[in-house]
Chains A and B, each alone.
Chain A
């Protein structure tokens, strides 16, 4: 609206205009009452007296670009009129925020820098609505977030796990081991495999020592207690996926199991997490609980291969003698101690004590 037009429409009213300059240097003029709706601009005008002419335009914060500025001014222009009903304002707001997420984020940021609180509230609520109730994949899709949490993510023990000191110890162990894994993997050391083997045995031992009486009882209990919820992008063929899933299952199962009798611990930290999956498929299904942190991560190819190998190896070994192992566990306590050692024969006991100290 140029001043000439203004003169034609309202010859008796001289509207005051304020000049605003955005970070890119472009200058815009705005009706005074519209601009005054923004606390920051209002303050600038009152305190420093700028804005009255093109030469001393008010410099707006860098987060405000011209396109967003015009949006904000539309908002101000509508809301600064005192006579509007609440209903009108609400419906304007609802229409106003129907913009793409990119502009919505920019708008929030700009409104915040101009201290326009009602608009910040409005846009924050809109963004919150876009996040609420969605799965992480959907949220990442909406906001173009990188899916860059891998092992790290699993360090996050924030789930509905039992607040059991043993679980916490296990989580810590896993976390430490995974960190080490990652570092080792970066250096492409062959030791990784050994480490993993050791980890398994460590866990196994822990479980056997912690574990109680009826492994089978636990199996049955876990079977019908929880449902096995799978994410749609998990394909049983992709072993990396399966490994990931089983990683998760590990933690979830461990939680499940600890929720019930300790007897299930046999199950819990059993050696290869990937094996768990195989076992699951065979119908021993530890019905696991999927909740927060159910994420699909990508392990890099090198890791994938190693894990694939282990998966097959272990699957073969364990699946073949699983029923017999169960029998052993049930029958005598002594056997339990023997089993893990027989599996890897890597001085697991020594490893375990090391862990204990930590």
Chain B
């Protein structure tokens, strides 16, 4: 109880250890270690921290002189007591291959559960002692060479993320099959293979980015969220088989995505891949056994609205998802493209009486408000009885003169389209064109 003057009582030092851990884990590692000089009680509070994160803040603080960072990490590991559950090294340029080797072999003896090595400035080979970390739950690697021993297993691995990793001496399928409990998989610009077959019975979340020739989902019953941003290597359509029945690309990919709730497909490549061999007018009404009953959110980018095959794939997807609630489409339409093929296709759809009954929110991101895109918007407005909001984001060139003009012209036109939903709100925004980054070194 407070008296007349404020009593200076130390209340923090006696907080229970789990709370101290909460507090110290939220400090940058250097500050956490420095607490050992505060008082007697604080001397060893940090040494049992289960999570050690050495990231860019360390580089700032230690100014990367004389290998200070390496020595700091050495010291911390040396003085640490107890199991280390999480170890992260990110954005540091000084550790060398041998340093990393030493640290990983130390961690493998200490029951490491989460390991993150993300150092974009260096390129190293993963030491074999990594494979003896059998308690690993989460593994995130980038910029390294992955050479697996012939027989290994990550029995507990649930989350795997590989970015700019090169596979040598074994296949990706081997890797995935040795992680039976894998739930989250992120692959970004991996090298060493171009045909991807995903067979992961427990997989829930998948994120693919990069270049592939062929993608196949073999056994992924639990997949709920998928993000595919693949550039398809071979755009030579004729070389591939025509899409009939089971062997079509569409089935190969979409067949494995039947249970997905949130699907994101980006890049021109993937949609073209799916569109191989498709006869645009037939597709949207064919394959009606393939339904996405769980799909609630669909995002498609770089839809070339002038290409009726691509549009038919998009329509097919939307049609096969009877419970779809949110739709987001970004277009990358060619400026000079004719509008007729798409217009025909859409009119046909309308005649066939398709209706997207659950679709509530649509976001259209189109470039320059071209005619094919506007036709698509018109089509959507006429088949979505439950529509609540349609947001149109128009990309404009960096031209200050016609900036507001584009927005208003689009809005004017769209407002005139007949709407089947009475409560639909339409809004239009204008953005500067954003160029997406793709690391050229990997192309």
Residues of chain A touching chain B, judged by Cβ–Cβ distance below 8 Å, are 101-102, 105-106, 108-109, 112, 120-121, 124-125, 127-128, 131-133, 136, 139-140, 143-149, 152-153, 156-163, 259, 292-293, 295
Contact indicator B11/A143 (Cβ below 8 Å)? yes
Contact A124/B10 with A112-B18, A145-B39, A149-B40 known, Cβ cut-off 8 Å: no
B1-37 interface code vs A (CB 8 A; 1 in, 0 out): 0000000111111011011001110111011011111
Contact indicator A108/B15 (Cβ below 8 Å)? yes
Instruction: Give bound CA distance, A15 to B127, whole Å.
Output: 63
Contacts of B22 in A (CB 8 A): 120-121, 124
Instruction: Give bound CA distance, A172 to B74, whole Å.
Output: 18
Contacts of B286 in A (CB 8 A): none
Interface presence of B66 (CB below 8 A): yes
Instruction: Give bound CA distance, A108 to B19, whole Å.
Output: 8
Interface presence of B293 (CB below 8 A): no
Residues of chain B touching chain A, judged by Cβ–Cβ distance below 8 Å, are 8-13, 15-16, 18-19, 22-24, 26-28, 30-31, 33-43, 62, 66, 68, 71-72, 74-76, 79
Contact indicator A145/B10 (Cβ below 8 Å)? yes
Contacts of B19 in A (CB 8 A): 108-109, 112, 120, 124
CB distance from A20 to the nearest CB of B (A): 21
CB distance from B27 to the nearest CB of A (A): 5
Contacts of A292 in B (CB 8 A): 30, 33-34, 37
Contacts of A102 in B (CB 8 A): 9, 11
Extra contacts besides A108-B19, A149-B38, A158-B36 (15): CB < 8 Å: A106-B11, A109-B19, A131-B31, A132-B27, A132-B28, A136-B38, A144-B9, A145-B39, A152-B43, A153-B37, A158-B79, A159-B75, A160-B66, A163-B74, A163-B75
Chain A residue, CB-CB nearest to B15: A109
B interface: dominant SS: helix
CB distance from A228 to the nearest CB of B (A): 16
Chain A residue, CB-CB nearest to B30: A292
CB distance from A163 to the nearest CB of B (A): 6
Instruction: Give bound CA distance, A175 to B24, whole Å.
Output: 27
Contact A147/B39 with A158-B33, A160-B62 known, Cβ cut-off 8 Å: yes
Contact indicator B11/A156 (Cβ below 8 Å)? no
Contact indicator B37/A131 (Cβ below 8 Å)? no
Contact A125/B26 with A144-B9, A158-B33, A292-B37 known, Cβ cut-off 8 Å: yes
Instruction: Give bound CA distance, A106 to B38, whole Å.
Output: 20
Contacts of B79 in A (CB 8 A): 158
27 A-B pairs within 8 Å (CB atoms) are namely: A105-B15, A106-B11, A125-B26, A127-B12, A128-B26, A131-B23, A131-B27, A131-B31, A136-B37, A139-B38, A143-B13, A144-B8, A145-B41, A147-B39, A148-B40, A149-B40, A149-B43, A152-B40, A156-B43, A157-B75, A158-B75, A159-B75, A160-B72, A160-B75, A162-B71, A163-B71, A259-B66
Instruction: Give bound CA distance, A144 to B13, whole Å.
Output: 10
Contacts of A293 in B (CB 8 A): 37
Contact indicator A149/B35 (Cβ below 8 Å)? no
Contacts of A144 in B (CB 8 A): 8-11
Contact A131/B72 with A120-B22, A124-B22 known, Cβ cut-off 8 Å: no
Contact A149/B39 with A127-B23, A158-B33 known, Cβ cut-off 8 Å: yes
Chain B residue, CB-CB nearest to A154: B37
Q: Which residue in A121, A143, A146, A156 is a CB contact (below 8 Å) of B36?
A: A156
The 7 closest A-B CB pairs, nearest first, are A128-B26, A124-B22, A105-B11, A144-B8, A145-B39, A160-B68, A143-B12
Instruction: Give bound CA distance, A108 to B12, whole Å.
Output: 10
CB distance from B80 to the nearest CB of A (A): 11
Chain B residue, CB-CB nearest to A100: B6
Contact A124/B38 with A105-B15, A131-B31 known, Cβ cut-off 8 Å: no
CB distance from A125 to the nearest CB of B (A): 6
Chain B residue, CB-CB nearest to A260: B66
Contacts of A125 in B (CB 8 A): 26
CB distance from B397 to the nearest CB of A (A): 34
Instruction: Give bound CA distance, A133 to B28, whole Å.
Output: 9
Chain B residue, CB-CB nearest to A256: B66
Chain B residue, CB-CB nearest to A134: B31
Chain B residue, CB-CB nearest to A111: B19
Contacts of B43 in A (CB 8 A): 149, 152-153, 156
Contacts of B12 in A (CB 8 A): 101, 105, 127, 143, 145
Contacts of A106 in B (CB 8 A): 11
Instruction: Give bound CA distance, A71 to B119, whole Å.
Output: 44
Contact indicator A128/B23 (Cβ below 8 Å)? yes
Chain B residue, CB-CB nearest to A161: B71
Instruction: Give bound CA distance, A156 to B45, whole Å.
Output: 14
Instruction: Give bound CA distance, A105 to B15, whole Å.
Output: 8
